[in-house]
Structure 1
Amino acid sequence: MRAHFNSACFSGCVEEESQTRAATQAENQPLTETFTSESIALGDGIVYSWVTLDAEGNPSAIGVNFTELAISGLPEEVAEYTLPLPEEASATAFNHIGLDWNPEGHEPQGIYDHPHFDVHFYMRSPEERDKITATEEDMANLSKEPDPEFIPKGYVPIPGGVPRMGAHWIDPTSPEFNGQPFEETLIYGFYDGEMVFIEPMVTIDFLKTKPELTKPLKLPENYPTEAYYPTDYSIRYDEKMEAYTVTLEGMTLR
């Protein structure tokens, strides 16, 4: 979630596209394989997307990894970094990831006005997102509520919308709406009555604590199209890789 961005897709890379990390067999765990996207520059480091497939070849998790150096040397202005997902993620509901950097946070003031990343896992292509204008003529689409079965439990919309995103839905029981500081949270996005994205948000200060966080998602009763959808999200720091990861996991065919 944010008030406004200048889109900037960085084309430089330091890794080969769709490279594969070696499959590992941990004790009492099934064989998995992870595929990564081409990496792009982020701050003084890099960022890339990935998908993990289980032993049957089904997606079990998708996410973004960015190196520890990536949270330094970030631009002073808002920016969006567009990350295509590896083709092996095609069975999921997701098309690509938008990593949005907000150096001064965004509205509402007093809640989300801290330097942070918005990690949008989009279910529509960039071209389809371009059709979301959030203009006055677009208000009917922004305000159209989905059928109750498609609304995540407890989530409510906030007024208005954002170009190329849609309307944002929040969980009013989240800590930041109940007197606690904003560290991380989970937002859903809708447009024309359909889910457009799932969005973990995380502050730079929280990342610096090198977290090991996993939370269940509040889910709708149903989804409009059959695909693999997540049941949890995670924000972690990997000591060995010296990298942060933001993940949608527990992928289930719905």
Structure 2
Amino acid sequence: MKTLQASARPAPLVWLAVVALAASPLLASAGDLSATYRGKPVPFGQGRAHTEVRTDAAGKAVAVGIVFSEQALAGLPAATMAPAYLLRMPATGPRTVVDHVVINWEAAGHPPPKVYDVPHFDFHFYLVKRAETKRVRFGSDAESGEASQQPPAELLPAGYVVPPGTAVPMMGVHAINTQAAEFQQQPFTATLIYGYYNKVQTFIEPMVSLSFLLSKPAFSAPVPRPAIYSKAGSYPAGYSVNYRPASKDYEVMLEALQ
């Protein structure tokens, strides 16, 4: 009987382990697979930038984006240098439709005039591999207006058009939202572009002005969605541009992946 009692009662060290587990936050959140996966940081301005994939409690990817330090907005080069910053996706965690991200700094902006001709960033979330973007070629920027580069209507969200003058080598043609605020006599702050090449979707591009970032925004907006996508997967229903005072950095996120 004494032997049974002794074996039924855990040793003191076992009791301590049980108490520690009961108090552990890991035990309290057992089954919660929410996490943030980060890509390798790269130099950006005088700071650094990296990609992130965020998951919900079930482990499903719900957001993909980039985070960059406040110092990244300092020491940016002049317009003639037009740098591009390549960010790889996290090595671990769930895959998304985004293959890689390229940040293009537009010190003098770009056409159309009086719309996007202010200093801003083009955040290209590419749906195709880097090798494919390197093969994108055009005879002139006007090719975006030709039938050979006009995507099918079902690949364009309502209100989006691909006008002449938006064909860019190593990128694609750019579809603009004619209902966006900057086309309604309002200043350009943040907007969302869709990109294509040879009638296939190749990127999703939030564009954000430097002045808007310097205002340290807390911004979010719905993402207009086409009827179908060229690549199978989950796509954003919203996007956000936020300054995070606690960590002194910015995030540009494609959110509510579905």
Please, what TM-score do these two structures have when normalized by structure 2? 0.81
How far did 1:206 drift?
0.4
1:228 equivalent in structure 2: 234
1:36 matches 2:7 = no
Residue correspondence of structure 1 range 188-227 to structure 2 within 5 A = 188-227=194-233
2:10 equivalent in structure 1: none
* SS state at 1:159 partner: coil
Q: Tell me which of 115, 119, 122 is aligned to 1:118.
A: 122
1:156 matches 2:161 = yes
**Is the CA contact 1:85–1:96 (under 8 Å) kept in the aligned structure 2?**
yes
**Is the CA contact 1:51–1:88 (under 8 Å) kept in the aligned structure 2?**
no
Deviates more, 1:200-209 or 1:140-149: 140-149
How far did 1:225 drift?
2.9
What is the root-mean-square deviation in Å for CA atoms of aligned residues?
A: 2.3
In the alignment, the residues of structure 2 paired with residue 186 and residue 171 of structure 1 have an alpha-carbon distance, to the nearest angstrom, of: 7
* SS state at 2:226 partner: coil
Bigger radius of gyration among the two: 2
Please, what TM-score do these two structures have when normalized by structure 1? 0.83
Identity in percent = 37
**Is the CA contact 2:88–2:100 (under 8 Å) kept in the aligned structure 1?**
yes
1:94 equivalent in structure 2: 98
Q: Tell me which of 55, 69, 73 is aligned to 1:67.
A: 69
After superposition, the C-alpha distances for 1:81-113 in whole angstroms (9 at most, x for unaligned) are 000111446632110001111111111121111
Paired residue type of 1:59 = A
**Is the CA contact 2:143–2:164 (under 8 Å) kept in the aligned structure 1?**
no
In the alignment, the residues of structure 2 paired with residue 115 and residue 223 of structure 1 have an alpha-carbon distance, to the nearest angstrom, of: 31
* SS state at 1:158 partner: coil
After superposition, the C-alpha distances for 1:126-177 in whole angstroms (9 at most, x for unaligned) are 11011111126x9488843232222112101121400011111001111111
**Is the CA contact 1:91–1:228 (under 8 Å) kept in the aligned structure 2?**
no
Q: Which runs of 5+ in 2 are unaligned?
A: 1-24
In the alignment, the residues of structure 1 paired with residue 65 and residue 194 of structure 2 have an alpha-carbon distance, to the nearest angstrom, of: 16
After superposition, the C-alpha distances for 1:222-252 in whole angstroms (9 at most, x for unaligned) are 1233212111110001111100100001011
1:83 matches 2:87 = yes
Paired residue type of 1:240 = A
In the alignment, the residues of structure 1 paired with residue 215 and residue 148 of structure 2 have an alpha-carbon distance, to the nearest angstrom, of: 38
Larger strand proportion of the pair? 1
1:11 equivalent in structure 2: none
Aligned pair in 2 of structure 1 residues 89, 157: CA closer, same or farther (>3 Å)? farther
Q: Which runs of 5+ in 1 are unaligned?
A: 1-22
2:6 equivalent in structure 1: none
In the alignment, the residues of structure 2 paired with residue 100 and residue 226 of structure 1 have an alpha-carbon distance, to the nearest angstrom, of: 26
* SS state at 2:188 partner: coil
Larger helix proportion of the pair? 2
Paired residue type of 2:219 = L
May I ask how many residue pairs the two structures share in their alignment?
226
* SS state at 1:199 partner: strand
In the alignment, the residues of structure 2 paired with residue 188 and residue 224 of structure 1 have an alpha-carbon distance, to the nearest angstrom, of: 12
After superposition, the C-alpha distances for 1:48-79 in whole angstroms (9 at most, x for unaligned) are 11111222222110111111111011111311
**Is the CA contact 1:168–1:187 (under 8 Å) kept in the aligned structure 2?**
yes
In the alignment, the residues of structure 1 paired with residue 148 and residue 91 of structure 2 have an alpha-carbon distance, to the nearest angstrom, of: 33
* SS state at 1:207 partner: helix
After superposition, the C-alpha distances for 1:162-198 in whole angstroms (9 at most, x for unaligned) are 0011111001111111111111111111111111111
1:104 equivalent in structure 2: 108
